[in-house]
Amino acid sequence: MAVAMQRGFTFIELLFVILVIGVLAGIALPRYFAVKSQAQEQIAKSFAGTLTRTTGNTLWSQSLSNGGNGSIKSDEDGNDSKFYGNSLDVYITIPKYFDRTSVNFANCVPGGQSAQPFIRKNVAAGGEYNIFCRDGNKTHSPYFVASKDETYAF
């Protein structure tokens, strides 16, 4: 007499597999979001540092050579989104986490003041950080920082 082999999984086996998958997801998902947030923070800080070291120095020297005393706040053309006719995209690639249409040179402030964002976060792309600008002067080039806040005190 042949015994028929039963095919498939029992309810207990399926329940156990679902439980294991749930535990693994409970461990993996928070770590994934933490790593994603850390990566975005590093991108924001790196971008602000690059603005300070390269683009800021370029704009500062351009201001000095045009009689602007090192300030990038205004080039007297009435267009706060451009510097001497050029958008910031001419000087540097703006990461997707920032709203490239929100660049506002008028938001660069002297040291000791609070600034509004120089470049706003791109919420649609998951951006969490704004870029702020301390304006340049005759002796110091502009300085940029990344922060999750809506204002930043220099």
Report which residue type is found at 13: E
The H-assigned helical ranges of the chain are 11-50, 56-65
Tens digit of pLDDT for each residue in 20-79? 998 888 888 888 777 888 889 999 999 999 999 999 999 999 999 998 899 999 887 889
* pTM strictly above 0.85: no
Domain ranges in the chain are 16-153
Q: Write the DSSP symbol of residue 14.
A: H
Tens digit of pLDDT for each residue in 69-119? 999 998 878 899 999 899 999 999 999 999 999 999 999 999 999 999 999
Report which residue type is found at 39: A
